[in-house]
Structure 1
Amino acid sequence: MRGGAAYDEIADWYANEFLGAQAASGDPLEIKSTLRRLLGPGDGRCLEIGCGTGVYAAPVSALGRTPFGVDLSAGMLRYAAGRLPIARADAGRLPFRDGSFPAVVAVMVHTDMPDYPTVLGEVARVLAPGGVLVHIGVHPCFCGGFADRADPEGVVIRPGYLDRGWTTESWTDQGIRDKVGANHGPLPELLHGFLDAGLVPDRFAEGGAPTPTMLAVRAHKPG
């Protein structure tokens, strides 16, 4: 997972200004509603990869599950500490035994990770047989430095969707990516990561209008 120090530097802004603005606008990207729908009710521990400030612990708990978060940023974990049990850890080298979680969620974090396929491999390792992963992230087709979203009624797609790698290019200076950067890859690359990890996708969702900003995948570990 990249960006521990970078997120340390923006943790206060992220927790107070960025998340405050998001809360005031409701759930326009349908992130929380999609998380509830795809994860569903259950029990046992649910590991959140890149939990940040822990804002998704509440919807996980409301489903009857016990959230547990990991993140690299000590600054972000300062805010998460009051919301869920936490550990400072790299998602590419999770400090947990094989098959120790019935559920894992990764919410709006895959672009913070230069090697998300390795993270998915670790998720598959720590998932119990039959366990479920819910991935919710920015939509690779419509979000990135190539996608100009300045007009709320439409997205201008410029060359760059097929580019791979880390960038701080962004259409706005009011968001996160111009501050800490983001990793981008085209859609097939993301989906292949699930398959290569041995995870079986079974549901998909998009969120945000009029052009989706969010893409979600639910996958399970065969058992």
Structure 2
Amino acid sequence: MEAAYDEIADWYEQDFEPLPGLYRQLGELLGAGDGVCLEVGCGTGAHAETVRGLGWTPVGIDLSTGMLGYAIERLPVARANAERLPFADDSVPAVVSVMVHTDMPAYPKVLREVRRVLRPGGVFVHVGVHPCFCGHFADRSDPDSIVITPGYHDGSWTKKSWTDKGVRNRVGAKHYPLHELLNAVTDAGLRMERFGEGGEAAPITFSVRARK
């Protein structure tokens, strides 16, 4: 099975710039700990250093062989579908999902899998593009004046983007309005604890910490 990111793995590793404050948000919500921290959709393993610096042992899964070719230098990885995680029930103390939920048309199903593999009391951290200010409906060409156009509620998959320098225009993205994203977390049986927003005047990222 060929993954969409296989075609852009080299570009992602060499040229893609992470969003401002991304690692800080991940660190603040995940916090210090030990044991395995599973990253669903780990990509090139760019977040492994942050996770490891908090005391956790990062492990990643991803569908893209191209991305995993870079990730394997940074953390233990396996090629797997996030909708069917190769972990036993109640076996993992922490799971993170960083900038990938828009790549997953069945993210609610992924969240149910996250809950299944988490230990009781285990922590889950979601960091993703902000549902209200990032998407095919948001023109961010002027960071001081974000223009929101119709399309926020349609939940579509599209390559439409205000820039040709990002991921969305290359592989496409699924949009989840804020209420759908939060409902998916609670519907999966996860208890939300804290939230975060990061970026410029109009936030770029939205984060959630939840527990089983």
**TM-score range for the pair, normalised by the shorter chain length:** over 0.9
Q: Deviations over 1:136-156 (max 9, x none)?
A: 000010000100000021210
Using the aligned pairs only, state the percent identity. 63
Q: Deviations over 1:94-118 (max 9, x none)?
A: 1110011100000000000001000
In 2, Cα distance between the equivalents of 1:211 and 1:187?
15
Paired amino acid for 1:78 = G
In 1, Cα distance between the equivalents of 2:163 and 2:83?
29
Counterpart position of 1:91: 82
Query: Tell me, what secondary structure is at the counterpart of 1:150?
Result: coil
Q: TM-score, normalised by structure 1?
A: 0.93
Counterpart position of 1:44: 35
Aligned residues: 212
In 2, Cα distance between the equivalents of 1:31 and 1:99?
28
In 2, Cα distance between the equivalents of 1:38 and 1:17?
27
In 2, Cα distance between the equivalents of 1:143 and 1:206?
12
Structure 1 position 133, deviation (Å): 0.2
Counterpart position of 2:202: 211
- Structure 2 runs not aligned, ≥5 long: none
Counterpart position of 2:13: 15
In 2, Cα distance between the equivalents of 1:81 and 1:185?
30
Runs of 4+ in 1 over 4 A off after TM superposition: none
Counterpart position of 1:142: 133
Query: Tell me, what secondary structure is at the counterpart of 1:206?
Result: strand
Counterpart position of 1:103: 94
Matched, 1:168 2:168: no
Structure 1 position 4, deviation (Å): 5.2
Q: Contact (CA 8 Å) 1:138, 1:214: kept in 2 or not?
A: yes
Query: Tell me, what secondary structure is at the counterpart of 2:152?
Result: coil
Q: TM-score, normalised by structure 2?
A: 0.98
Matched, 1:71 2:62: yes
Structure 1 position 5, deviation (Å): 2.3
Counterpart position of 2:71: 80
Of residues 115, 120, 124, the one that matches 2:111 is 120
Matched, 1:182 2:180: no
Matched, 1:55 2:53: no
The alignment's C-alpha RMSD in Å is: 1.1
Query: Tell me, what secondary structure is at the counterpart of 1:145?
Result: coil
In 2, Cα distance between the equivalents of 1:174 and 1:142?
18
Q: Contact (CA 8 Å) 1:114, 1:165: kept in 2 or not?
A: no
In 2, Cα distance between the equivalents of 1:208 and 1:93?
32
Counterpart position of 1:198: 189
